[in-house]
């Protein structure tokens, strides 16, 4: 098994890109501890998908506070005994806030975030997953969440663009960027092995990884 210096790895990317799937695969491979985003427990989420403008602030605030509690619980654990892999980055909350909240709501949200963000543990490595819109939509449909049944393609396209802008400027940790449009790491042990080697080599700056199965 490949040895990792990274003890806390975060996997990020837009809705439907495969964050949780890859997190579980890496946790299994490294016998690691998984930290998973609380999604379906958000009582406002279903209403948000029906009327984003009306329910955006409640939805965003619930996510912010529940993620913060998870992160605080993480502080209480010994991160050096095992690898911890999370399927979300705490800072990503601001991506969603920036495209769902109006100016006044966003200003209030930012005031709350400024008190919480500095108290969150920084990962050793962030893995940013990308995929084309025509790939993301079928993946969202396939997982069968009722509140995502009529997912807004324009919202997802805006979200993907905002993610790209966010990580284009990211410099807080080493960053590994992967386009997953034509690959499923959960389906191929060989592809997962190659990715793990790339993760082990990623020590600083931003690196781009081309999945083994897509190389010419």
d(CA 41, CA 205): 35
Whether 156 contacts 99, CB under 8 Å: no
For the question of residue 193 being annotated catalytic, the response is no
From the list 87, 93, 124, 194, the catalytic residue is 87
d(CA 169, CA 46): 32
Q: How many CB atoms lie within 10 A of CB 173?
A: 18
Q: Which residue is it, tokens 């930012």? A: 110
Tell me the two tokens of residue 189: 């042990």
User: What's the count of helices (H) and strands (E) in the chain, helices before strands?
Assistant: 8, 6
Q: Which residues of 70-86 are buried (b: 16+ CB within 10 A; e: fewer)?
A: bbeebeeeeeeeebbbb
Active-site residue numbers?
A: 87
């Amino acid at each position: 098994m490949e040895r990792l210096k990274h003890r806390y790895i975060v996997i990020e990317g837009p809705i439907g890109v495969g964050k949780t799937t890859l997190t579980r695969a890496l946790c299994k491979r490294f016998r690691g501890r998984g930290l998973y985003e609380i999604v379906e427990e958000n009582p406002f989420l279903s209403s948000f998908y029906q009327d984003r403008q009306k329910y955006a602030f409640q939805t965003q605030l619930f996510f912010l506070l529940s993620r913060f509690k998870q992160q605080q619980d993480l502080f209480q654990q010994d991160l050096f005994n095992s690898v911890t892999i999370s399927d979300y980055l705490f800072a990503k909350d601001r991506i969603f806030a920036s495209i769902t909240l109006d100016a006044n709501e966003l200003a209030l949200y930012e005031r709350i975030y400024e008190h919480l963000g500095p108290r969150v543990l920084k990962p050793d490595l962030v893995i940013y997953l990308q995929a084309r819109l025509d790939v993301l939509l079928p993946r969202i449909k396939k997982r069968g969440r009722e509140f995502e049944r009529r997912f807004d393609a324009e919202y997802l396209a805006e979200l993907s663009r905002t993610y790209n802008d966010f990580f284009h400027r990211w410099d807080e940790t080493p960053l590994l960027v992967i386009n997953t449009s034509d690959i499923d790491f959960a389906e191929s042990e060989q592809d997962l092995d190659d990715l793990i080697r790339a993760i082990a080599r990623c020590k600083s700056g931003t690196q781009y990884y081309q999945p083994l199965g897509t190389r010419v």
